[in-house]
Amino acid sequence: MTSPLSQQTIQRLAFVRFLHEQGTAQSAQPEPMSAAAILSFQDAVEHFLLVSADHLGVNLPSSMQFMQYWERLQPKLPTGQVLPSKQALSRVNKLRVDLKHHGSIPSSHAIAQARADVTTFFTDATQMIFNVDFKTVDMVDLVAQPTINRLLHEAQTHFDADDKVFAMGGLAIAFQELLRHYTDRRIEGFGRPPFSFGNRLRFFQPDKDQQGSAVSRQLTALTTTTMELQEALQVIALGIDYARYAHFNVMVPAVDKYEDGSIVLAVTDMDMATTADDYQQARLFVIESALQAARTDATFDQLKVRFPNDVDFDIEEWTWTGPAGSRD
């Protein structure tokens, strides 16, 4: 009998599923970019096996071949059961070795087969070792920001209720909140939010007597362009792939948030045709973006160290004098 899952184990399994979903998305890319899926699949399986060893209390040597996990884990498995997919994952491992060490690009058929084999392994092995359904392992457990985590969970409730439009709307709201969390984040004592790129702008509303004039058209165009550039810079500065962000924006309904706190979705006929695959792809993007943006937490931590709230700074101006030793 296995022990209950700890929070750390749940998070590690969420990371396994994240790698698996990442590999699945990569496998859908055109050749040769789809070959990267093999590396993600192998990493996902190997991490799963390490988590399994820890959960089962199996001591592993510091250096071990991939296929040795089946032998090492076997004594701790339920009586009469065998860790599945050994032969299938041996094929995946060979693809990975050929790709990484010999530069051999796998065929699209081999990648599709690897995706199916790895998915079957996770489906069977997760139930066997952890007594949970792999599909129920939620990658949202990797997202540390509470508000974004909550919004992702709320979007999932709509998806589970077969309301894909609101599910996609929830993902759009979650991403907007992600941007707002980092771009509006201010450290007291430091002049501006480091990822803001200027003050937040609103759409230009000309006076009635100015509507339609050349000046109002120009100001409207300049404001709109500046807002779009500001958002693009924020996305890029947070380390988020802008091309994937642009694709995400096409997939989800437009969101308007009003001053009274109400949120409105602008739903089109295309939004009504959203598929489950669209949702999973968009959800993975938001989770990846949250993990990527979280790297900037180190910047805010450093600002807190350099600009503590209870310290008033005296600023002096020093003139640069060139090489060391030339200043009096």
> What is the C-alpha radius of gyration for the chain, rounded to an integer number of angstroms?
25
For residue 327, pLDDT over 80 is answered with no
Share of residues in the chain with pLDDT > 90 (%): 59
Do residues 26 and 133 both lie within one domain? yes
Do residues 104 and 150 both lie within one domain? no
pLDDT tens string 256-303 = 888 888 999 999 888 888 999 899 889 989 998 998 898 888 888 887
Position 270 scores a pLDDT of: 87
CATH number, residue 102: 1.20.120
Average pLDDT taken over every residue of the chain: 88
Do residues 70 and 175 both lie within one domain? no
Domain housing 110: 7-140
Q: Once rounded to an integer, what is the mean pLDDT over residues 240-252?
A: 93
Residue 155: partners with Cβ closer than 8 Å, 6 or more residues away: 166, 167, 168, 169, 170, 171, 173, 174, 283
Domain-embedded: residue 313: no
Do residues 102 and 242 both lie within one domain? no
For residue 164, pLDDT over 90 is answered with yes
DSSP state for residue 254 in the 8-state scheme: E
Do residues 111 and 182 both lie within one domain? no
Do residues 301 and 156 both lie within one domain? yes
pLDDT tens string 126-152 = 999 999 999 888 888 889 899 999 999
Residue 27: CB atoms within 10 Å: 21
pLDDT tens string 291-316 = 889 888 888 888 777 777 666 667 78
Tally of structural domains, the chain: 2
Do residues 163 and 31 both lie within one domain? no
Residue where one domain finishes, among candidates 75, 109, 140:
140
Q: Which of 40-49, 50-59, 314-323 has the lowest mean pLDDT?
A: 314-323
